[in-house]
Amino acid sequence: MTLRNSLVWFRRDLRVDDHAALHHALLSSRRVVGAFVFDTDILAGLPSDDRRVQFLLDSVRELDARLHAMGGYLIVRHGRAAQVIPALAAELDAESVFANRDYEPQAIARDRAVQDALRAAGRSLQTFKDQVIFEQDEVLTLAGGPYSVFTPYKNAWLKRLAREPEALRPYETAPHAGALAPAPADQALPALADLGFVANAAPIAHPGMTGAEALLAQFGQRLARYDHDRDFPALDATSRLSIHLRFGTLSVRRLVAMLQERIADGSGGAGAPVWLSELIWREFYMMILARHPRVVTQSFKPAFDAVAWDDGAEADALFDAWCAGRTGYPLVDAAMLQLERTGFMHNRLRMVTASFLTKDLGIDWRRGERWFALKLNDYELASNNGGWQWAASTGCDAQPWFRIFNPVTQSKRFDPDGAFIRQYLPQLAGLSGAAIHAPWLAKPEVLQEAGVVLGKDYPVPVVDHEAAREKTLARFKAIRDL
């Protein structure tokens, strides 16, 4: 034990178990205090009823309660983290601040500023791997560079895990909890209003560590069927754990260890390896962002920065129709309404809507990416950017650039009886068969019987898919011919 006082700075790791920074702080310090900052640099510009802020607050409350149960407490502040943390370290006379690494460019800049300020005062910032199994420099090609295609990355990731099973060893905290400093009497947590926010009418269910546990237990029952069911948005087939992985209310090491066990004992069926792949996609995109931070604003494949996306008043009107779920393509519209009303969108639908914006409407992926960033509960820069660039064919897709989803075919395949569409577009509920996927192709008597007047109850399509497809092929061919 070398330190007297330490501060554990919680950021996107809002849990007490299997926590690298907390573990190391407890092992190396006599007194450990936790802190969380509602960072005004991040909160500024969010809508006043942003669901994620409520989720964060609920999760922070639970974190505080869990630390209390272990004999410690959490200091919660509202301000610029880059200033609050060095000031708090001085206030507590903490020699060191412990934190888990965050790989987003803005977070890296913030941490550098904190480190500089701490250093200038004779203190230190110690950071740890916690958010991922393998960081950006740990899974490399034989030539020592980063991968740019998922499958070889995944194979190398799995090989490394087989060689290094200790990568999943939990960072225990409970056995070392004696180092937690007890709470002073006057400790109070802020309310939503203190942060300048109001409650959302449809908040995110299952916040905090308890919420993560509940979702994981439920998903455990569905895991074995995940490989098949995950593509059907009407089914409750995926884990819904993305927001928990975003805010670290559960440990990714624990998830991968659980998967390994269920693959080994056979109870994970065909679903477990597929779900593991999804967790590896998450790390793949984090690696891409860390190794190529230019992707935040530019195409992963630089040639595609020259794509001539549509802009101007007509594109603006089409973009507005896409955001509002008024494109006339039922699956696209139902998906956009799911996003608006719940803050969640099923993965298949993220691919369909992103493809529709870029390939059918010819609109720059960056506009769609920003819309998702504002609306998604689980918004994560790396995965969102990676998903958008994949859909726009400017990113890490091993397939060539002519992948263009047909929104009607996707609808027939993945929402075959229109159950998902009906959930968000009740005005189309009377349609069945092919008509619910493409109402404009339905016979007038079918529409009449279902009580649907196109252009009144539901929009006519804003674009013709075949014509849009030709336009997109020409748009991308122009790049290939450059």
Q: How far is the CB of 215 from ligand FAD (least distance, A)?
A: 9
Active-site annotation holder among 9, 157, 322, 388: 388
Active site residue 390: no
Q: Which of 282, 366, 367, 465 touches ligand FAD by CB under 6 A?
A: 282
Active-site annotation holder among 104, 135, 213, 309: 309
User: Counting contacts by CB under 6 A, is residue 281 touching ligand FAD?
Assistant: yes
Q: How far is the CB of 426 from ligand FAD (least distance, A)?
A: 24
Active site residue 278: yes
Nearer to ligand FAD, 296 or 434 (CB): 296
Question: Which segment (101-109, 145-153, 241-249, 294-302) binds ligand FAD by CB under 6 A?
Answer: 241-249
Site for ligand FAD in 367-406 (CB under 6 A): 372, 376, 378-380, 383-384, 387-388, 391
Kind of pairing between the strands at 29-39 and 96-100: unpaired
The three-state (H, E, C) secondary structure of the chain, written as one string: CCEEEEEEEECCCCCCCCCHHHHHHHHHEEEEEEEEEEEHHHHCCCCCCCHHHHHHHHHHHHHHHHHHHCCCCEEEEEECHHHHHHHHHHHHCCCEEEEECCCCHHHHHHHHHHHHHHHHCCCEEEEECCCCCCCCCCCCCCCCCCCCCHHHHHHHHHHHHHHCHHHHCCCCCHHHHHHECCCCCCCCCCCHHHHCCCCCCCCCCCCHHHHHHHHHHHHHHHHHHHHHHCCCCCCCCCCCCHHHHHHCCCCHHHHHHHHHHHHHCCCCCCHHHHHHHHHHHHHHHHHHHHHCHHHHCCCCCHHHHHCCCCCCHHHHHHHHHHHHCCCCCHHHHHHHHHHHHHCCCCHHHHHHHHHHHHHHCCCCHHHHHHHHHHHCCCCCHHHHHHHHHHHHCCCCCCCCCCCCCCHHHHHHHHCCCCHHHHHHCHHHCCCCHHHHCCHHHCCHHHHHHHCCCECCCECCCCCCHHHHHHHHHHHHHHHHCC
Active-site annotation holder among 135, 213, 340, 347: 347
User: Counting contacts by CB under 6 A, is residue 350 touching ligand FAD?
Assistant: yes
Q: How far is the CB of 283 from ligand FAD (least distance, A)?
A: 8
Q: How far is the CB of 212 from ligand FAD (least distance, A)?
A: 11
User: Counting contacts by CB under 6 A, is residue 13 touching ligand FAD?
Assistant: no
Nearer to ligand FAD, 214 or 478 (CB): 214
Residue 254 CB-density burial (10 A; 0-12 exposed, 13-18 middle, 19+ buried): middle
User: Counting contacts by CB under 6 A, is residue 354 touching ligand FAD?
Assistant: yes
Question: Which segment (108-116, 297-305, 347-355, 457-465) binds ligand FAD by CB under 6 A?
Answer: 347-355
Active-site annotation holder among 138, 278, 371, 440: 278
End-to-end alpha carbon distance in the chain: 62
Six token digits for residue 19: 């926590």
Site for ligand FAD in 83-142 (CB under 6 A): none
Site for ligand FAD in 149-178 (CB under 6 A): none
Active site residue 440: no
Nearer to ligand FAD, 2 or 221 (CB): 221
User: Counting contacts by CB under 6 A, is residue 347 touching ligand FAD?
Assistant: yes
User: Counting contacts by CB under 6 A, is residue 268 touching ligand FAD?
Assistant: no
Q: Was 282 annotated as part of a binding site? A: yes
Q: How far is the CB of 97 from ligand FAD (least distance, A)?
A: 27
Q: How far is the CB of 237 from ligand FAD (least distance, A)?
A: 8
Nearer to ligand FAD, 98 or 134 (CB): 134
Q: How far is the CB of 361 from ligand FAD (least distance, A)?
A: 14
The annotation places the binding site at 226, 238-242, 275, 278-285
The annotation places the binding site for FAD at 226, 238-242, 275, 278-285
Q: Known catalytic residues?
A: 278, 281, 309, 347, 365, 388
Site residues for ligand FAD per CB under 6 A: 230, 238-242, 245-246, 278-279, 281-282, 285, 347, 350-351, 354, 372, 376, 378-380, 383-384, 387-388, 391
